[in-house]
Amino acid sequence: MSVKRILSKNDVRLKINMKEILGRELPNSDEIRDAIAQKAIDMIIERTQSGKDVRGKPFKEYSKEYMGSDRFKAFGKSSKVDLTLTGDMLGLLDVVGESKNTFELGWTDDTENKKAYNHNVGDTLPRREFFNLQKKEVEELRRFAERLIDGASKDK
Amino acid sequence: MAQVKINRSAYDLLNVKVSAKTLIVLGDFWKQRIYSFTKSGKSLATNAKLKPLSKSYVSQRAKYKGPFGALFGIKKSNLTRTGQMLDSLKNTQNISAQTVTIKLSGSRDDGVTNEQVAKWVAEQGRPFLGLDEKGRQRMIQIVLRDLRRQLKKRPR
């Protein structure tokens, strides 16, 4: 499976297998692996902050109660649902594990991990599933990786 | 005043500096973080809720006629009455020293500087100028992105 999601209360991770996506091994380059991982993170954040879930559908609206809260106003929020209050959950999404051809995205911070779990399963909050890659995003990641690898091999 | 200096160790060897643009991004991020967290009633200096207001001060505030700062509330402990102090937060950068500094600027209508007000509220048990661990982690991410981007552009 090229992208596998782990979704439990204390462990929310996305395992991305680039060998499966590319059909070949990644070159032995931390730089290339870092760049691809960052691209995957950026895609998830951009899509989420544009207000869309993993299926490309708009997120469920914020409740009136939440929008009327002091915290909501203190962080200058609007009614646009982008899962960004302090920005910490999306801002701290990072690579939490890697091997030659795979990397894992997730959170090292326990609170942010729990927030992500809650949003994705709808535990104590309305469900707003953001943590995964769409098919077209996997394809975009593949093209990005190919360009990087081709560019790197031309530099040699 | 609150200041962060970027620890450059490994990047010194590569002769890479955090760009001016990124230092501004860092400053804006930090200033906004202090502002929003304080307005929401939390101190980034202590990573805890701001000390509640005394009963006598709340009675005083109930008689206050304005002007009111954003998110003023008679009983709210968010360092807001007129709003002048938090509105005066300013960020400056020093590219050669690789530092970002957050300061209070200007004075209140009664001539007391906002810097003095900030010092006084801290002495009263409500320090607010600081940086929490998550904020620090996010700033590190911003710096790493900039440095990776610069290194990528370098001719090999």
- Mean pLDDT of the A52-62 span: 96
Quick one: pLDDT band at residue B10, thresholds 50, 70, 90? low
The whole-chain average pLDDT of chain B stands at 90
Beta carbons of A138 and A53 less than 8 angstroms apart:
no
Q: Check whether A156 has a pLDDT greater than 90.
A: no
What is the per-residue pLDDT across A115-126, written as a single tens digit (0 to 9) for each? Answer: 999 999 998 999
Whether residue A83 contacts residue A89, with contact meaning beta carbons closer than 8 Å, is answered with: yes
Q: Is the pLDDT of residue A154 over 60?
A: yes
Mean pLDDT of A90-113: 95
Interatomic CA distance for residues B149 and B27, integer angstroms? 19
pLDDT tens, B31-43? 999 999 999 999 9
pTM of the model: 0.89
Residues of chain A with pLDDT > 90, as a percent, come to 87
Residue B93 or B151, more confident: B93
Selected residue with higher pLDDT from A151 and A49: A49
B36 vs A31, A76, A112: nearest CB: A76
Average pLDDT for chain A? 94
Does residue B15 have a pLDDT over 70? no
The pLDDT value given to residue B147:
84
The answer to whether A144 and A36 have CB atoms below 8 angstroms apart is yes
Chain A CB contacts of B28 below 8 Å: none
For residue range B39-60, list pLDDT tens digits in order: 999 999 999 999 999 999 999 9
pLDDT at B16: 75
Q: What is the CA radius of gyration of chain A?
A: 17
Residue B149 corresponds to which tokens in the numbers above?
């981007």
What chain B residue is nearest to A86 in terms of C-alpha separation? Answer: B33
pLDDT given for residue B37 in this prediction: 97
- Is pLDDT of B142 > 60? yes
How far is B86 from B151, CA to CA, in rounded Å?
Answer: 37
Structure tokens belonging to residue A64: 């009136």
pLDDT at A76 over 60: yes
**ipTM of the prediction:** 0.87
For residue A10, give the nearest of A138, A144, A117 by alpha carbon. A117
Distances (CA, A) of A54 to A21, A46, A64, B47: 19, 12, 24, 33
Report chain B residues whose CB lies below 8 A from the CB of A94.
141
| Residue contact A74–B39, C-beta within 8 A | yes
Q: Do B40 and A70 touch (CB under 8 A)?
A: yes
pLDDT in tens, A3-39: 999 999 899 999 999 999 999 999 988 888 989 999 9
Q: Are A82 and A91 in contact (CB under 8 A)?
A: no
Report the C-alpha gap between B72 and B28 in whole angstroms.
Answer: 23
Report the distance separating Cα B48 and Cα A115, nearest Å. Answer: 19
| A88 contact B CB<8A | yes
Instruction: Give yes or no for residue A47 having a pLDDT over 90.
Output: yes
The CA-CA-CA angle for residues B14, B18, B24, to 5°, reads 175
